[in-house]
Amino acid sequence: MNQSIENEMRRILALADGERYHHLRHMMAYHLGWEGEGAGPQASGKRVRPLLVLLTASAAGGDWRAALPAAAAVELLHNFSLIHDDIEDNSATRRGRPTVWKLWGIPQAINTGDAMFTLANTAILRLELPPERTLQAARIFQRACLRLTQGQFLDISYEEARSLPLEAYWPMVGGKTAALLAACTELGALCAGAPPEAQEAYREFGEKLGLAFQALDDELGIWGDEALTGKSAASDLLEGKKSLPVLYGLAQGGEFARRWMAGPLTPEEIPALAAQLEAEGARDYTQETAARLTEEALAALERAAPRGEAAASLRALARRLLKRSA
């Protein structure tokens, strides 16, 4: 499947190529990990989203090959959003390499993202389902795009606030993470021609999977093992990220909240403050939330009654994602 995903994405990128446009294509290929210094699998990301599309299509009784355009579409959409996020967050590196804006400047990076967004929208229209169903796929895809920009809007807005209520968390991660995973599984089921109830169960599986994944990611961002996560533990605290444990801690109004509200933290304070936040119950709360969402995700998956080898692969993918060992 992995090679087929890359091949389909290459076919779609070729649509943007042409005598004068090699460099535009190259900037996209660079971001996707195919070209330039440091190219290779480690620079490509894990392609979790397209795999989720194809495994769902197969588990729902369809031929995964028919879902390849949708798989390419979600991965291109994800990567377009990363190109723009990197500008918005002022991030100089991604997957160990300089970001597109860092190499070629903000104007070209904005436009390269726009070109990749266009290719994502082009990809979804390459589905060769009955026309009514291809249109439905395109509409599902557009809803995910809209939630993505809404989630990003909240994320940028939240940066200005020092504190936020706990419930502000879910619409933001719902848009930034869950919306696209929900689209992956819903599109996979739609491509397979699954009945509406199964489509809805697969959609819920993807949505809950995304929320559980984000909650776990937030836990690791404070208490994670650096060797496993690849980023320094507690770095989320230093960056002032409004992650789930932080918002929980703020809602407690205890020692953690008092220090957080007093202004930016220093690296030296982080270990003690992480311990304080844990003592106030934020780590347990986050783990329990993630566990509940994981159970809900797996229950939705079983309700969808996945079949064959792909069912086992889908469960394994979910487990791998929720353990961050992938």
- Please provide residue 44's backbone torsions phi and psi, each rounded to the nearest 5 degrees: -100, -15
Footprint on residues 248-267 left by its own copies (CB under 8 A): none
Between 134 and 185, CB nearer to its own copies: 134
84 binds its own copies (CB under 8 A): yes
- Among residues 146, 272, 279, 312, the one that binds its own copies under rule CB under 8 A: 146
Cβ–Cβ under 8 Å, residues 204 and 300: yes
110 binds its own copies (CB under 8 A): yes
Q: How far apart are CA 304 and CA 65, in angstroms?
A: 20
CA distances (Å), origin 81, targets 86, 146, 220: 8, 12, 23
Q: How far apart are CA 109 and CA 163, in angstroms?
A: 32
Cβ–Cβ under 8 Å, residues 210 and 218: no
Between 40 and 107, CB nearer to its own copies: 107
- Among residues 39, 103, 138, 299, the one that binds its own copies under rule CB under 8 A: 138
Handedness of CA 271, 272, 276, 279 (dihedral sign): positive
| Strand-pair category, 97-98 with 93-94 | antiparallel
213 binds its own copies (CB under 8 A): no
Between 141 and 256, CB nearer to its own copies: 141
145 binds its own copies (CB under 8 A): yes
Q: Rounded to the nearest whole angstrom, what is the least distance from the CB of residue 169 to its own copies in the complex? A: 12
Site string for its own copies, 16-55 (x = CB under 8 A): x-x-xx-xx-------------------------------
Number of residues counted as binding its own copies (CB under 8 A): 44
Q: Which of 224, 206, 205 is nearest to 287 (CA)?
A: 224
Cβ–Cβ under 8 Å, residues 180 and 78: yes
156 binds its own copies (CB under 8 A): yes
Q: How far apart are CA 228 and CA 224, in angstroms?
A: 8
Which element (helix H / strand E) includes 98?
strand 97-98
- Among residues 7, 42, 149, 163, the one that binds its own copies under rule CB under 8 A: 149
Site of interaction with its own copies (CB under 8 A): 15-16, 18, 20-21, 23-24, 84, 87-89, 106-108, 110-115, 117-119, 121-122, 125, 131-132, 134-135, 138-139, 142, 145-146, 148-150, 152-154, 156-157, 171
